[in-house]
Amino acid sequence: MAINPVKGTHDIIADEANTYSGIEYDCRILAELFGYSEIRTPIIEHTPLFLRSVGESSDIVTKEMYTFDDKGGRSLTLRPEMTAGVMRSVVSNKLYATNDLPLKYFYIGPCFRYERPQAGRYRQFHQFGVEAIGSTSYLQDVEVITLGKRVLDSLGIDKVKVLINSLGDEESRENYRAALKEYFSKHIDCMCEDCKRRLEVNPLRILDCKVPEDRKIIEGAPKIHDYLSDVARGHFDNVVDMLKKVGIDVEIDDTLVRGLDYYTGIVFEYHMNDSDDVGAIGGGGHYKNLLKEVGGPDLEGVGLSFGIERLYYVYNKVNAGEEMFVNGPDFYLMGMDAHAIELNFTLANILRMNGYAVEMNYENKSFKSLFKIAEHKHSKFAIIVGEDEIRNGTLTVKNLNTQEQTTVKTDDMLLVFKSMLEDYMRDLRKEAK
């Protein structure tokens, strides 16, 4: 009996994997441009890390964690997000003991949440994100939000709205929480079971409820902006003004709280502005106490994360399925009989040793079907080796973009191929303009 993939997981194959790599490449390059270095933390962590950071009132901790006891009886959890692991690593490795604050790290890797699988929602998915730890400047928040926007720009995802809110400082939040509690207590009887629990543990969480009937009640709830302290309001205004100065328009959304308990101050999300069929493409926020809560010093930070699956979905939507990250071979070597195929094998070997990506046929096939294969594999050139070519010591090389055909002396191939490929890429760029 065949074994099915685990529900909510998906295989990423060939062209799709190429596009994933291309997206991840853009994320990586942009993160480096903004001064972030890579950090790779383990997929498994001790469960209390997430209870302390992501928070016991969050949906992630209450419903979605893959938690199990290992053979030594320790409770471990597959990371549902990456920030907590980065904080743990900063503490474990005393990375904070440096004069070079802020620490700036980016990450790419799989995360796990036991969610109901649907469009854009998986049980194993991938995140790219950054964390900047150790700066109190509002400019650090602006930098992170800008980096996220640049990632979307670089992927051609331009019809995006950036939602922003402030959860305020401790004083603002205390007052706001009390106001929310008072307001929702009056309506809680007709709200969902989750909201009933949230009212007791963390009324702010109610603002994140997606139940349509509850959304109507939420609309009438007190607004955080009326409870912000002068300091928190000043910080928020500075962030919004500076984002405008660097050309990023934001929409203030005073119900935006995000699904993780560790955020304080600025929170933000990136959404498509026409439809919102997969939810937020990415989001993040400022956290004042997170590092301290996992045993580190009192340094605040700001981070963002994108779901790579959602970037992929939106990328395909806006680029109408155009494969930008096609990664086919440079040459597809075609031989019609055993002798030609053997000769091609030695040529392929030489070409690969010289840095060219080469594919070839091992079985006898008609030229017609070999051309189909070469095109299907997105090969740039086909190299045809028939009886005439072998006799004359030549190769027939066909540009599969322009369909132009040339004859090249086999002995000259390394010299000629370099410029042929350069011309090919130049033509392609011209066509793309």
Three-state secondary structure call for residue 92: helix
Distance, in Å, from the CA atom of 222 to the CA atom of 203, rounded to the nearest integer, reads: 12
Kindly tell me which of 78 and 400 has the beta carbon lying closer to ligand AMP: 78
Distance of CA 277 to the CA centre of its chain: 17
Q: Does 283 bind ligand AMP (CB under 6 A)?
A: yes
Q: Which stretch binds ligand AMP (CB under 6 A): 87-95, 112-120, 353-361, 378-386?
A: 112-120
**215, 155 Cβ separation under 8 angstroms:** no
- Taking CB under 6 A as the binding criterion, the range among 120-128, 134-142, 196-204, 243-251 that sits at the site for ligand AMP is 120-128
DSSP string, 11-34: ---HHHHHHHHHHHHHHHHHHHHT
Count of positions on this chain that bind ligand AMP (CB under 6 A): 19
Among 36, 50, 106, 122, the residue binding ligand AMP under the rule CB under 6 A is 122
Binding range to ligand AMP, per CB under 6 A, among 194-202, 233-241, 300-308, 359-367 = 300-308
Nearer to ligand AMP, 264 or 361 (CB): 264
Candidates 281-289, 345-353, 354-362, 419-427; binding stretch for ligand AMP (CB under 6 A): 281-289
**Position among 28, 121, 181, 378 found at the interface with ligand AMP (CB under 6 A):** 121
- CA separation, residue 419 to residues 163, 344, 428 (Å): 48, 21, 14
CA 239/CA 403 separation, integer angstroms: 54
Is residue 339 within 8 Å of residue 37, measured between CB atoms?
no
Q: Which of 171, 230, 173, 163 is nearest to 205 (CA)?
A: 173
Tell me: does residue 222 bind ligand AMP (CB under 6 A).
no
| Residue 310 touches ligand AMP, criterion: CB under 6 A | yes
Sheet with 331-335, edge to edge strand ranges:
358-360, 331-335, 381-385, 394-399, 405-409
Tell me: does residue 331 bind ligand AMP (CB under 6 A). Answer: no
Task: By CB under 6 A, tell whether 303 contacts ligand AMP.
Answer: no
Neighbouring residues of 195: CB distance < 8 A, sequence distance ≥ 6: 184, 188, 206, 209, 211, 214
- Does residue number 309 form part of the binding site for ligand AMP (CB under 6 A)? yes
Ranges within 225-264 binding ligand AMP (CB under 6 A): 258-259
Residue 281 contacts residue 160 (beta carbons within 8 Å): yes
In the complex, residue closest to ligand AMP by CB = 307
Instruction: Supply the minimum distance, in Å, between the C-beta of residue 122 and ligand AMP.
Output: 4
Catalog residues that contact ligand AMP under the rule CB under 6 A. Answer: 81, 113, 115, 120-122, 125, 127, 258-259, 280-283, 305-307, 309-310
